Amino acid sequence: VTPPGRAALMSALGPGREFDRVRRIAAALGARAAGLGDDCALLAAGGGTLAASTDVSVEGVHFRLEWLSLEEIGWRAAAAALSDLAAEGAEADAVLIALSVPAAAGDDDVVAVMSGAGAAATEAGARVAGGDLSAGSGWSLAVTALGWVADPVTRAGARAGDGLWVTGRLGAPRAALEAWRRGAVPGEDARRAFARPLPRLHAGRWLARHGARAMIDLSDGLGADAAHVAAASGVAAELELDLVPVAPVAVAEAVRLGVPPEQFAAESGEEYELLVALPAGFAVEDVRAFESVCGLTLTRVGQAGEGGGVHARLGGVPVALSGFDHFASHRR
């Protein structure tokens, strides 16, 4: 994989405060950085490619102790890093876990977090191969996932005319977050989607083998992640929100907020489903094969077009989608 040039890199990162910062970092690092801005770093490795992704989960930013058990904190953090491998079409091999531990935590607490991370790794076919422990003012985990991929699927390969598809149903993690925010207890389906997300490694590999041109996970939400694909690929992302598959548990929270459920789902971050650009010829029998092999729905939600940016419509009316930004305590 040839690293993109600096100019290409800087226009490929998409919108948002985090991405403004990454752009500034890339400019400052110049030739010292390469390949920033995709889900994974891709390193040539004796005939294959190593896919590596690091993902940080911070108490009070990504989760609260009132919401999750320590095992779930570990699971979520590992799943988030493994999800980036899924979005390259890679096979997971190992995770490394750098864990900062608050002073009040005991050994059982540390073991609980690491057991959760280890369980997520096992579920994804990976093992815990290393890590680092440190004191810290709160819980913080930086998980690095390492995997292997013959032909990585980056964010940059979508072409005008490709269909845009999503795996699974969206909105459940946001339903859990919205319930916690108003002091309620989320339903079990919503809670599980937030607390124990399943990285879509099997689905990502299937899609990579069946023509995927660009892929990304939905950790920033469908609207924001479609913008990343659009920016990296040099296309417009035309989203038909009426087609967005909404998790049943998301509907009630959307109604409560007065937001159409499809928009609620398209703005839900912390999703670990995949957004994938597939050639226009991807057929109904391909969808059936995917759903039968992967045990997940695959739904067309729009197409790539000429131009740039995200153009979302709901019931024929343009909708401006907001995204999910870990630097903002509010939604932008």
State the minimum distance, in angstroms, from the CB of residue 186 to a copy of itself: 23
Quick check: 298 and 164 in contact, CB under 8 A? no
Question: How far is the CA of 176 from the CAs of 56, 60, 171, 188, in angstroms?
Answer: 21, 16, 9, 9
Amino acid code (one letter) for 89: G
State the minimum distance, in angstroms, from the CB of residue 283 to a copy of itself: 35
- Bridge partner list, 142: 56, 98
Cβ-based nearer residue to a copy of itself, 28 or 284: 28
| Cα–Cα distance, 181 to 175 (Å, whole number) | 10
Cβ-based nearer residue to a copy of itself, 129 or 280: 129
State the minimum distance, in angstroms, from the CB of residue 252 to a copy of itself: 30
Cβ-based nearer residue to a copy of itself, 38 or 178: 38
Question: How far is the CA of 147 from the CAs of 30, 94, 126, 205, in angstroms?
Answer: 27, 7, 9, 12
Cβ-based nearer residue to a copy of itself, 132 or 306: 132
Cβ-based nearer residue to a copy of itself, 127 or 209: 127
Contacts of 65 (CB under 8 A, 6+ apart): 59, 73, 139
Cβ-based nearer residue to a copy of itself, 53 or 303: 53
State the minimum distance, in angstroms, from the CB of residue 62 to a copy of itself: 7
List the structure tokens of 38.
């995709």
State the minimum distance, in angstroms, from the CB of residue 158 to a copy of itself: 21
List the structure tokens of 213.
């041109």
Quick check: 321 and 240 in contact, CB under 8 A? no
